Amino acid sequence: MDKIKSDIKSMLTPKRYKHILGVEEVAIELASRYGANIEKVRKAALLHDCSKQFTITKMRELCDCDETLKNYGHLGELIHGFAGSVYAKMKFGITDQEILDAIRYHTIGRRDMSLVEKITYLADAIEPNRDYADVEHIRHLAFENIDMAILHEADRKIEYLIKREAVIHPNTVDMRNWLLAKVK
């Protein structure tokens, strides 16, 4: 784990590395709370943004931009999880599919996420360096009901994207609808 940390530190800006450590911290807390494998969530947390400093060209080369990104590949921000998952396998020797999927879907989410995926997605959104209007509420919810917390985060994200007149990836909507049915 120390090797992953030092490699990641050298690949990212200091600010991004600070974010990574924040995600790791929250991911460990959530894993303890919900009984997830700590090793797995730590690896997913440390590697989730590993491709963040790559050029968009390099991300596109790496990324097996499957059906999920087919009509959304022009949105640069959505690719780094896909590229990161390929890079984590190639350069960090990660073979566990749950970790690779947690990295892959950490930005857009998806329906039927595993616990490791949920924790990575949520920790990314609520780590201590994050600051947005609803973050305290979602931080609190995170330890009460993880599905409810992700549902609120998805709602918040969708509202934010609508306000900015930005394209919404269907995975986010699909994840939201899945959770909505689940928590009812």
Binding site for ligand DGI (CB under 6 A): 19, 49, 75, 77-78, 106-108, 124, 161, 166-169, 172
Closest approach of Fe ion to the CB of residue 106, in Å = 6
| Least separation in angstroms between CB 11 and Fe ion | 13
Per-residue three-class SS string for the chain: CHHHHHHHHHHCCHHHHHHHHHHHHHHHHHHHHHCCCHHHHHHHHHHCCCCCCCCHHHHHHHCCCCHHHCCCCCCHHHCHHHHHHHHHHHHHCCCCHHHHHHHHCCCCCCCCCCHHHHHHHHHHHHCCCCCCCCHHHHHHHHHHCHHHHHHHHHHHHHHHHHHCCCCCCHHHHHHHHHHHHHHC
User: Least distance to Fe ion from the beta carbon of 51, Å?
Assistant: 9
Instruction: Work out what residue 168 binds among ligand DGI, Fe ion, none; the CB cut-off runs from 5 to 8 Å by kind.
Output: ligand DGI
Within positions 105 to 134, which residues make up the interface with Fe ion, using CB under 5 A?
124-125
- Least Å distance, CB 1 to ligand DGI, is 20
Look at residue 119 and give the partner it binds from Fe ion, ligand DGI, none, a contact being a CB closer than 5 to 8 Å depending on partner kind.
none
Q: For binding to Fe ion (CB under 5 A), which residues are involved?
A: 49, 124-125
